[in-house]
Amino acid sequence: MSKQSITVRSLIEMKSAGEKISVLTSYDASFTRLIEAAGIEVILVGDSLGMVIQGQESTLPVTLDEMIYHTRNVARARQSVLLIADMPFMSYRTPGLAMESAGRLMKEGGAHMVKLEGGANQLEAIRQISSQGIPVCGHLGLLPQSVHKLGGYRVQGREQQDASQIREDARLLQEAGVDLLVLECVPDSLAAQISSDLTIPVIGIGAGVQCDGQVLVLYDMLGMNPHPPRFVKDFLQSGRTIQEALQAYADAVKEGSFPAKEHSFK
């Protein structure tokens, strides 16, 4: 018998109860089954597939059709997890295109929610998508699709002005209809403030332990990245099986032992 499905409301209830939310990326059916067996609540089909699956230098070359393909693979295998799909680079450059791209990820890919990067510049696109009953996940801090403009993969929000802008953007995203927010590579104190400010759940990646949940790229937490970012922990170490590593990650997020100080930024 299938477990009860995780929904947007489920995540809000978890935040209210102080229960941490565990999130991992997946791109295929086989890993999806293992992730779900570990009790992880949310799967993100990330445009990170451009780097970890396709061998690209960034996420930028990933197409909408490729995102739909991988989302559909995950959707076929999932039973209870909430399924989020990234909207790839340039697939939401206008509100009309954003709505069309989001609709395809939901209808053809089987996603339950779509994720896009950016702050105040994306408010109209978010309003348009949300108005059609499509749940939206925002993404602030380090924005991989803007890596060339940012000058590389760097921590964001260390300067007071930048921190204030990220905090304000988070507020505006929530007002525009975002149901979930990912904060990537920001100081842990800033992430804690934003998590407290918002009523929607905040999921961190390199954003400290005080977020409402954590997300990692699957291949990173399995130790398959030869140059892992500082915020990554290898959960496959010590002779664990893949299933044991996934369970260890889920448990560490729930217990609040991951991320530790060495995985966070000041």
CA distances from 20 to 27, 42, 127, 141 (A): 23, 12, 28, 21
Residue that has been written with the tokens 């130790």 in this structure: 223
Which CB contacts under 8 angstroms, 24+ apart, belong to 118-125? 118/143, 118/146, 119/165, 119/166, 119/168, 119/169, 119/170, 119/172, 119/173, 120/168, 120/169, 120/172, 122/92, 122/173, 123/172, 123/173, 123/176, 124/95, 125/92, 125/94, 125/95, 125/98, 125/99
Q: Name residue 185's amino acid.
A: C
pLDDT at 249: 98
Tell me how far apart the alpha carbons of residues 164 and 109 are, in angstroms, rounded to a whole number.
Answer: 36
Compute how many other C-beta atoms are within 10 angstroms of the C-beta atom of residue 191.
31
Per-chain mean pLDDT for the chain: 96
Residue 184 designated active-site:
yes
pLDDT at 147: 86
What is the tens place of the pLDDT at every residue in 222-264?
A: 999 999 999 999 999 877 999 999 999 999 999 999 999 999 9
Per-residue confidence at 1, pLDDT binned at 50, 70, 90? very low
Q: Which CATH architecture has domain 8-263?
A: Alpha-Beta Barrel (3.20)
Tell me how far apart the alpha carbons of residues 190 and 265 are, in angstroms, rounded to a whole number.
Answer: 10
Helix axes 95-107, 64-77, angle to 10 degrees: 30
Tell me how far apart the alpha carbons of residues 252 and 198 are, in angstroms, rounded to a whole number.
Answer: 24
pLDDT at 2: 52
Q: Which residues 6+ apart lie within 8 Å of 190 measured at CB?
A: 157, 163, 166, 167, 183, 207
Tell me how far apart the alpha carbons of residues 58 and 30 are, in angstroms, rounded to a whole number.
Answer: 25
What is the tens place of the pLDDT at every residue in 46-96?
A: 999 999 999 999 999 999 999 999 999 999 999 999 999 999 999 999 999
Q: Which region holds residue 223: left if phi is over 0, alpha if psi is between -120 and 50, else beta?
A: left
Q: Which residues 6+ apart lie within 8 Å of 55 measured at CB?
A: none
pLDDT at 262: 95
pLDDT at 10: 97
What is the tens place of the pLDDT at every residue in 5-54?
A: 999 999 999 999 999 999 999 999 999 999 999 999 999 999 999 999 99
pLDDT of 148 higher than 90 = no
Q: Which residue has the higher pLDDT, 2 or 17?
A: 17
> What is the reported pTM?
0.97
- Please give the DSSP secondary-structure letter assigned to residue 42: E
pLDDT at 237: 86
pLDDT at 257: 97
pLDDT at 152: 79
What number is the average pLDDT over the span 101-123?
98
Compute how many other C-beta atoms are within 10 angstroms of the C-beta atom of residue 138.
27
Q: Which of 15-24, 147-156, 169-178 has the lowest mean pLDDT?
A: 147-156
Catalytic residue among 184, 244, 255, 262: 184
Tell me how far apart the alpha carbons of residues 226 and 205 are, in angstroms, rounded to a whole number.
Answer: 18
SS3 of 63-98: CHHHHHHHHHHHHHHCCCCEEEEECCCCCCCCHHHH
